[in-house]
Amino acid sequence: MDDPSPMSQSTNTDSSSVRTTDKHTRTDDGSVQPRDIQTPTRENHRTETSEMPKSQSTATISSTVTKDTDSGNNKENWQTETPERSTKTAHTCVEDGYCLPVEVRTHTKENRQTKTQETSNSNTITKDIHPENNKVWSKTSQAGRGCGAEFTDINYVLRKIDKELDKPYLEWRKAREEHGRLKVKSTAEQLEAKRKEREKKLQIYNAATSKIFGKKRKGELDEELLTLTGEVLAVNPDFYSLWNFRKETFLELQNTKDKDALQSMFQSELHFLESCLKINPKSYGTWHHRCFVMDTMPEPDWGRELQLCNQFLQYDERNFHCWDYRRYVVRRANVSPESEFEYSMSKISNNFSNYSSWHYRSKLLPILFPDPSQPMGVSESALLKEYELVQNGFFTDPDDQSNWFYHRWLMGRGDQKQAINLLFVSRAEKRVLLSFALPVQVGAETSIVVDCDGSSLLDVVWHNQDRDDTFSTLWISEGVDFPDAGACAVTVKVMKRGSETMTSSVTLGETEDHQVASHCSDCKTNSRFSQELSAVKSETLQQELESVSQLMEMETDNKWAVLTVVLLMKALDPVRHKEDISKHLDTLIALDLKRVNYYRDLKSKFCIENVIEGEDFSRPGRALKLSSSNLTKLYHPELLPLVADLDLSCNSLHEVRHFGYLQSLKRLNLGENRLQTCEGLGGLPRLELVSLKNNDIGTLEGLRPLLRCPVLKTLDVSGNPVCSSTDFVDSIQKMLPNVHVICS
């Protein structure tokens, strides 16, 4: 077949062999004008698509992207110069399903050079596909992209093209990418023939399956069973029971065959598994059975298995089944972590969008660069290098989420350590309250012992805020017999399997003012909700903030950049960046409509964390005012067990399910919210006044949890739909006879 001419040269085609389709194009002044698209007819242009290499089936070669370098009118123009080009033939599909040949321009290694050319009348970027990795090479400024000469995914360039073109072109492009060929309707005869063929195959399949289960019931674990199961699994490799039948058969045959016969039998099984993986490369049963074969065969070839993983990951670099199998092979073959670290780097260099490679890298870093003193268990110097690497990734393709997720992992605070957050002791109330950083279960393995002046107190029973023994961060003991008078030192010990793991102590005084004591764990600034930053890491995160902020200005509609800026500001100084964080979260709410509630919750969480960090809530009787804060949820109630007065009016709360942690709460204002029930308020032992004014409570059942508030005196439910009921007053007084109810 002759080498076709480029599409740009097809305008001289005879009018008899083309049809004209009305489309639109943008002029230099930004207006949209109709244009003519000339496409060959079926009769005058036929393409041998079956002979095409698969890598050439979606070719878009020279792409033009409009990009402003600043907010003014000055533009920059980059053009890739191709003095010597090798030409390949590829095909692209137009809207009616026909295929057009286009010229694929690829650089040779000797002539892969780029040249920057500035013009005043153009703002285009011409990019060419690199032949080795199907990426687009471009030359960008160090300030603009942060990583100099780089490669960009072809999909990123196409998305930029789509943004500059009008809706008809987008619809044409979608049809081209999703279909690529005309749909041919099947005739009634063809459908009937297909139906009969399927029925015939189903009968054979069911017959083979029935025979397999019959032999299994009879205990006939022989080579015939291997043959039958192989025939079915070759069609459906996700039939898990049959893989187990084959395992049992192989274990049975181990007793009758010698080493060479077993080696040959398992070698054949490996080849069979490869054929099944070609049918479904993500078959759980097939990959697990391969592990069984490798563990059972006399002489496994781990090197070949590693090459097999390389091959499958070349076909599909995000096949997590193969990545799991690779980790298994690496572990059994004693492959060095250094070589695997280099392999992950090669996969990332080939495609920054390979999330599996980033994940693998996060597992190797603690092995190669361990540092137990760091939150992530990785040395700080290694993490700083990773920041630079991942920055190149998200500057290359800002819309790809893999790089942003890995960047977020690098910023993580690591695993939080167990500790006693708060110890509260009241001699008058005979109560001890203990708050932990992580949930614990007091009972089988963990116990809490209370000592008074060195002597253990007897009959101390513990329960959580829900008055049961399930996992919780808050544990309460009531009816504790402290000495009636005199100073005493109270020590609480947490025991696990008989060994002491944590302790906390307070001292009760002799005077009436010292009958209550509390102790809060020493928490450094911001360490409760974020990791403590060293000078080097703080400087690095500041540089990251500047770089990502610059990207955010360039990519104004990129939600990942905005969210990362928020997280960086939160890690550096949440109080100083409070206003900017709130503004950026409002931007995310406008950009990402599918996750509006997530960003609103995140905004509520940051607001409450700032308040908790800024005030001391370890003393009893504290008041907390959070009215008109746009809260959607009360976060970290487990850190507020001593708050006595809480104002949450004029917010957007929908539920109060976790308010059981507020064991010292006396007055609660929930007016002007969106509550439909007060489930979660039941069981608060000291709650005296509740305002539910102007909420959405529509039934009496929504107020029934208040029956479990033993000292409740006043309830305001005015402005709720339930008040419009004719018998509401009588019903509520009957349900809460000792409570003054305000309903109008």
CA atoms in the 13 A half-sphere facing the CB of 264: 5
DSSP-derived secondary structure for 525-570: TTTTTSPPPPHHHHHHHHHHHHHHHHHHHHSTT-HHHHHHHHHHHH
pLDDT of residue 57: 38
pLDDT-above-70 percentage for the chain: 73
Q: Where are the alpha helices (DSSP H) in 334-379?
A: 337-350, 355-368
Contact 371, 378 (CB under 8 A): yes
pLDDT digits (tens, 9 = 90+) for 321-337: 999 999 999 999 999 99
> What Cα–Cα distance (Å) separates residue 274 from each residue in 82, 280, 282, 320?
43, 10, 12, 17
CA distance 404 to 567: 11
Lowest-pLDDT range of 374-388, 518-532, 573-587: 518-532
- Whether the pLDDT of residue 436 is over 50: the answer is yes
726 or 577: whose pLDDT is higher?
577
Confidence of residue 672 (pLDDT cuts 50, 70, 90): very high
The mean pLDDT of 430-436, rounded to a whole number, is 94
Lowest-pLDDT range of 131-145, 273-287, 441-455, 542-556: 131-145
pLDDT-above-90 percentage for the chain: 53
- Whether the pLDDT of residue 23 is over 70: the answer is no
pLDDT of residue 3: 41
- Whether the pLDDT of residue 525 is over 80: the answer is no
DSSP-derived secondary structure for 97-146: S-EEEEEEEEE-STT---EE---SS--EEEEEE-TTTSEEEE---HHHHS
CA distance 44 to 48: 13
Confidence of residue 527 (pLDDT cuts 50, 70, 90): low
- Whether the pLDDT of residue 529 is over 60: the answer is yes
Confidence of residue 155 (pLDDT cuts 50, 70, 90): low
Q: What are phi and psi of 19, to 5 degrees?
A: -125, 150
pLDDT of residue 132: 39
115 or 587: whose pLDDT is higher?
587
Which of these, 680, 697, 684, lies nearest to 732 by C-alpha position?
697
pTM: 0.68
Confidence of residue 174 (pLDDT cuts 50, 70, 90): low
The mean pLDDT of 227-240, rounded to a whole number, is 92
DSSP 15: G
pLDDT digits (tens, 9 = 90+) for 597-612: 999 999 999 999 999 9
Which residues are registered as beta bridge partners of 690? Answer: 668, 715
Q: Is the dihedral of CA 698, 700, 706, 710 positive or negative?
A: positive
pLDDT of residue 140: 34
The mean pLDDT of 8-15, rounded to a whole number, is 38
Highest mean pLDDT among 27-31, 164-168, 365-369: 365-369
pLDDT of residue 490: 93
Lowest-pLDDT range of 411-415, 527-531, 569-573, 636-640: 527-531
pLDDT of residue 498: 86
Q: What are phi and psi of 393, to 5 degrees?
A: -65, -50
Which of these, 57, 63, 61, lies nearest to 91 by C-alpha position?
57
What count of other Cβ atoms lies within 10 Å of the Cβ of residue 493? 16
- Whether the pLDDT of residue 97 is over 70: the answer is no
CA distance 111 to 71: 35
Confidence of residue 522 (pLDDT cuts 50, 70, 90): low
Which residues are registered as beta bridge partners of 502? Answer: 494
- Whether the pLDDT of residue 341 is over 80: the answer is yes
pLDDT digits (tens, 9 = 90+) for 461-475: 999 999 998 999 999
- Whether the pLDDT of residue 98 is over 50: the answer is no
What count of other Cβ atoms lies within 10 Å of the Cβ of residue 490? 22
pLDDT of residue 183: 53
pLDDT of residue 301: 95
Confidence of residue 170 (pLDDT cuts 50, 70, 90): low
Lowest-pLDDT range of 238-247, 328-337, 367-376, 431-440: 367-376
Contact 471, 422 (CB under 8 A): no
pLDDT of residue 710: 93
The mean pLDDT of 307-311, rounded to a whole number, is 94
pLDDT of residue 352: 85
What count of other Cβ atoms lies within 10 Å of the Cβ of residue 62? 17
Average pLDDT, the chain: 78
Residues 6+ apart with CB under 8 A from 618: 422, 518, 519, 520, 642
pLDDT of residue 336: 94
The mean pLDDT of 197-208, rounded to a whole number, is 87
CA distance 120 to 134: 31
Cα 489-492-493 angle, rounded to 5 deg: 130
- For 10, the token pair is 């097809």
What count of other Cβ atoms lies within 10 Å of the Cβ of residue 463? 16
Which of these, 698, 691, 694, 699, lies nearest to 739 by C-alpha position?
691
Which of these, 415, 472, 425, lies nearest to 446 by C-alpha position?
472
- For 80, the token pair is 């890739």
